[in-house]
């Protein structure tokens, strides 16, 4: 029997779902008044702790657990600042409004807690507030429904998935206690699925070109076969889902000193059906994120090439997940897992309930 696929409905499907894994992800490329470039990524994850099968979440005290990752990159100085929170406490009033509304915070209360929030102020307009971010984003286009219906299937794994590819952005970032006013363009992904963690590998790109065309490109590899996924949003808001995507890694590779994983930081992206030929390259080399025993690379890219013979350029983001980690340093892995376990076990349910009540 064919699986019934429910059409995505807005704003209802912007909220949380009863699935094994779900995330609300934003990235963006920004500039200050002097033309200095910055980039950010902010992602809140929701997981069924027992079913998601991430080893260090099994002992979590709740069925649903939230965790938070963020990045802020200073392109000129080639530096990035990251946050990996293994648990986030979500307020009781989150997901209770017609539009997307989430309050969350780390349960580590030393020095007081910092409230992070994602609020949809009106349809497809957001305020994102986190440790070093306070940004307002307004979508210039309707959502891109990946695969044409917002439901994808890659290597036997299925997921609901839509993107907002062109979010006009302004606000403030903070680097080393210096507040910087910025403007730019952001991207949002919302994805939810009934799949558990695996060691599958994927290479994902969001690209925002100067001709007002946006492209999502992804290669998914389960170790036995590969699937490819592409989505295009043209300047007028028309979306396409072409076949025949080709992703070719270049020679520019960065090796992590911690995990020994090797990440290709330059790629060629081709979509022959649309005569798209692009080259993308990372703007900062060291952008590795480590989440317990899971490592991935996430960071800003620049793009250049042609569409139908016309030159184009732009910016975007790249995510490289599942790239083999030697992790020969067993002591490092052990210490990370011990910290996570201690973190969870130090917050019994009654204490977390008190934190819930403090959040507004």
Full DSSP string of 78-147: TEEEEEEEEEEEEPTTTT-SSS-EEEEE-S--TT----EEEEEEETTEEEEEETTEEEEEEESS--EEGG
Beta bridge partners of 139: 167
Average pLDDT estimate for 26-50: 97
Average pLDDT estimate for 12-41: 97
The pLDDT value recorded for residue 71 is 98
Residue 347 lies in a domain: yes
Average pLDDT estimate for 247-274: 96
Residue 9 lies in a domain: no
Residue 3 lies in a domain: no
Report the C-alpha gap between 177 and 94 in whole angstroms. Answer: 29
Domain total of the chain:
1
Tell me which residue range forms the domain holding 316. Answer: 20-358
Give yes or no for a contact between 136 and 230, defined as CB atoms under 8 angstroms apart: no
The pLDDT value recorded for residue 58 is 67
Report the C-alpha gap between 138 and 324 in whole angstroms. Answer: 38
The pLDDT value recorded for residue 2 is 53
Residue 11 lies in a domain: no
Residue 6 lies in a domain: no
Residue 157 lies in a domain: yes
Residue 46 lies in a domain: yes
Here the CATH number for the domain that contains residue 67 is: 2.40.370.10
Under the banding of pLDDT at 50, 70 and 90, the label for residue 345 is: low
pTM above 0.85, yes or no: yes
Q: What is the pLDDT of residues 72-122, one digit of tens each?
A: 999 999 999 999 998 899 999 999 999 999 999 988 765 667 889 999 999
Alpha helices, H only, the chain: 330-345, 349-358
Give yes or no for a contact between 21 and 188, defined as CB atoms under 8 angstroms apart: no
Q: What is the pLDDT of residues 122-157, one digit of tens each?
A: 999 999 999 999 999 999 999 999 999 999 999 999
Give yes or no for a contact between 23 and 189, defined as CB atoms under 8 angstroms apart: yes
Given the structure tokens 């780390």, which residue do they identify?
106
Residue 2 lies in a domain: no
The pLDDT value recorded for residue 197 is 86
The pLDDT value recorded for residue 191 is 98
Q: Which range among 4-8, 91-95, 170-174, 341-345 shows the weakest confidence by mean pLDDT?
A: 341-345
Task: Decide which of 140 and 340 is more confident.
Answer: 140
Asked if residue 356 has pLDDT above 90, the reply is no
């Amino acid at each position: 029997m064919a699986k019934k696929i429910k059409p995505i409905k807005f704003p209802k499907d912007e909220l949380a779902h009863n699935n094994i894994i779900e995330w609300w992800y934003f990235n963006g490329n920004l500039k200050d008044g002097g033309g200095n470039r910055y980039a950010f990524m902010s992602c809140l994850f929701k997981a069924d702790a027992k079913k998601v099968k991430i080893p260090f979440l099994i002992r979590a005290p709740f069925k649903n657990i939230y965790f938070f990752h963020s990045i802020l990159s200073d392109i000129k100085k080639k530096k990035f600042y990251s946050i990996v929170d293994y648990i986030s406490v979500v307020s009781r009033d989150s997901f209770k409004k017609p539009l997307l509304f989430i309050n969350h915070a780390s349960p580590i209360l030393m020095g007081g807690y910092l409230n992070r929030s994602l609020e949809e102020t009106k349809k497809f307009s957001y305020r994102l507030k986190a440790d070093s971010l306070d940004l307002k984003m307004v979508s210039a286009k309707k959502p891109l429904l990946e695969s044409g219906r917002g439901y994808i299937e890659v290597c036997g794994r299925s997921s609901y998935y839509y993107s907002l590819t062109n979010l006009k952005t302004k606000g403030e970032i903070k680097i080393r206690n210096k507040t910087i006013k910025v403007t730019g363009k952001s991207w949002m992904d919302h994805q939810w699925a009934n799949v558990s963690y695996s060691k599958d590998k994927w290479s994902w790109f969001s690209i925002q070109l100067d001709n007002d065309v946006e492209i999502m490109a992804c290669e998914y590899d389960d170790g036995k076969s590969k699937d490819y996924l592409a989505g295009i949003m043209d300047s007028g808001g028309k979306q396409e889902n072409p076949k025949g995507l080709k992703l070719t890694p270049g020679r520019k590779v960065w090796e992590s000193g911690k995990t020994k994983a090797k990440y290709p930081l330059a790629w060629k992206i081709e979509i022959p059906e649309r005569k798209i030929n692009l080259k993308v390259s990372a703007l900062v080399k060291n952008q590795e994120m480590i989440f317990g025993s899971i490592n991935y690379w996430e960071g800003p890219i620049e793009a250049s090439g042609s569409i139908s013979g016309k030159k184009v350029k732009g910016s975007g983001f790249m995510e490289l997940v599942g790239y083999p980690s030697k992790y020969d340093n067993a002591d490092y892995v052990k210490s990370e897992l011990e910290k996570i376990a201690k973190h969870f076990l130090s917050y019994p349910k009654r204490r977390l309930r008190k934190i819930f009540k403090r959040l507004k």
